[in-house]
Chains A and B, each alone.
Chain A
Amino acid sequence: MRDFSYLRANSLDAAREAAALPGAMLLAGGTTLIDLAKCGVAEPETLVDITHLKGLDSIEMSERGATIGALARMGHVADHAGIRSRFPAVSEALWQAASAQIRNMATIGGNLMQRTRCPYFRDPANFPACNKRQPGSGCSAIGGVTRGHAVLGTSDACIAMYPGDLAVALVAFDAILHLGERQIPVDDFFLLPGTTPDREHAIAPGEMITAIEIPGSASARRSTYLKIRDRQSYEFAAASAAVGIEFEPDHRTIRDLRVALGGVATKPWRARAVEDALKGKVLEPDAVSAASLLAVEGAVDQGANHYKIELAPRVVARAILKLGETA
C-alpha cells in the first residue's frame, strides 16, 4: 500500500474542504478504501478521516419515515427497532451483508460508495486494462471469467456488477440522499457505466453524503430482502431482491408493489416493469411468476453468468409470494 498523509477532520466543513483537494479521499469505515489501497486500486495522497465527527450517526424516525446519518454504522441500523419494524427489507439487506465485524466498521454513507468486486478491477498488477480504473484502457472482464458479472445495465466498456445490498432496498423505497444541502434520489445517484464506467456516482469533489432519508410507506412496512448466494452467509449475492407490497383491504389485490434487484446489474436495479404488471392484480403464483420474468428484460449475459437471468426472476417471485403469505 502506497503511503498517504492522514488528516483527522474536526468539522464537516473542514472535511469537505480537505476532501476537495486533488488526491484526497474521505475515509470512513475503511472497509472498501483500505482494501482497495492494498490492492493498488485506490492511491490516495491524503485520507481525510471523518469517523471522529460528531452528530452524523443518528437514526431518526418520524411519521414521514427514517433519516439515517451518514456515519451510522451498518450493524446499528440493521438492529434498530424502528428500522426493523417499518423497513424490514432495509434491516434484512444490512444484516445479510458482509460480516458482523465489517458491519460494525462500515458506515451507511460509505456503503453507498462501495466499489465493484470485479476481480479484474481489483487486480491492476495482472490486468492493466480496466475502463473503470483507467478510462479507455479496455475491459479485461469481457471474454474473461464472468460468473459474477452483471447481466443488466452493462455496456461495451464495462460489465462490472454493483455488489451492495442496502442500496437495492433503498432504490425500491425511493430513498433520498442528502449531500449537504443538495438532495438526490438514490436511483439517480448510481450511474450506468455507458462509455464512462469510471464515473459511478453523481457526486462532485467536495461533496459528501450526510444523510439518507427513507420515506415511510405501507409497502416499506411489508417488505423483505431475499438474497441467494453461493454460500449461506458472508457472501455477495448471486441474485437478490428487495420487495415491498401493499394490499387493498381484501388482502389479495396488490395496491402498491416495489421490486429492486441486486447481484445482477451494474447498479441497484429497480424493476418497474414487474411492479406495473402486478399492480391492481390479485396475488397468485402464476401471475407473479410471469410478471417476475420482466425483471430481466433486456439482460445480456456473457455465458458464465447466464444463470443470473434464470435465477433473478425466481428470487423476485419467491420474495413476492413470501410477503403474500403474511397478508
Chain B
Amino acid sequence: MTKTTIPVHLDINGDHHELRLEPRVTLLDALRDRLGLTGTKKGCDHGQCGACTVHVDGERVLACLTLAAQVEGRTVTTIEGLAREGEMHPVQAAFLEQDAFQCGYCTPGQIMSAVACIREGHAGSNEEIREYMAGNLCRCGAYPHIVAAVRQAALEVQS
C-alpha cells in the first residue's frame, strides 16, 4: 500500500519538532525512533505496563496508545524534560535515595507516573500510592521501595 505521511508538529520538553510521519506512528515510536528520546521505554506496547508513561498537558498518559498526530498543539514532557538546570527532580532524587529500582527499565515510567500522582493529590498514604501507581508494573518487584520513594517525594513537594 502507499506510504503516505503527514506533517506533525510536536512540542516536547519545550523543544519544537517538525516531523513527517505515517498517521499510525505512536507518540512512543516518534519519541524513540525519530527524536532519539529513548528514556521513554517500550514495554508491552499495549497499555498494560506503564513503561511508556509521559505527560501531555501535564497529565500522565501512555505514549504507546497515543498517536503522535493526536498531540499536536499540546505540550509533551518526557523523563528527559524533568530535571531543571542539571538538578534532579525531587521524585528522581527520591528514587535514587530509596533505591527504588533494580533493572531500571520501568523506572522512567514509574517516575513520570509518580510526579503526576503527587500533583493529582493521590499520594496521601501508602495505600493510595499503591492504588494510583498500579498502572506501572515492575517485574523486578521493587514495589516497596517505589512506594517509599513516592511517599518521600510527596512529603518533600508538599512541604
Contact = CB atoms under 8 A, between A and B. Distances in A.
Q: Do A and B come from the same complex?
A: yes
Interface of A: 1-6, 8, 27, 29-31, 34-35, 37-39, 47, 49, 51-52, 75, 79, 98-102, 104-105, 232-234
A234 B131 CA distance: 8
A52 B122 contact: no
Contacts of A47: 23, 67
B60 interface: yes
A1 B62 CA distance: 17
Contacts of A30: 65-67, 70
Given A31-B47, A35-B46, A99-B50, A6 B135 contact: no
Given A100-B116, A100-B120, A233-B134, A49 B24 contact: no
B132 A100 contact: yes
Contacts of B62: 31, 101-102, 105
Given A35-B46, A47-B67, 10 more contacts: A2-B1, A38-B45, A38-B46, A39-B46, A99-B50, A101-B47, A232-B130, A232-B134, A233-B131, A233-B134
Given A52-B73, A100-B117, A2 B134 contact: no
Contacts of B60: 100-101, 104
A75 B53 CA distance: 16
Interface residues of B, number: 37
A188 B149 CA distance: 47
A101 B73 contact: no
B65 A34 contact: yes
Contacts of A39: 46
B158 interface: no
A234 B1 contact: no
B12 to A, nearest CB: 18
27 contacts: A2-B1, A3-B4, A3-B23, A3-B24, A4-B24, A5-B23, A6-B23, A6-B69, A8-B69, A27-B70, A34-B64, A35-B46, A38-B46, A49-B67, A49-B69, A51-B70, A98-B135, A100-B60, A100-B122, A100-B134, A101-B47, A101-B61, A102-B135, A105-B66, A233-B131, A233-B134, A234-B134
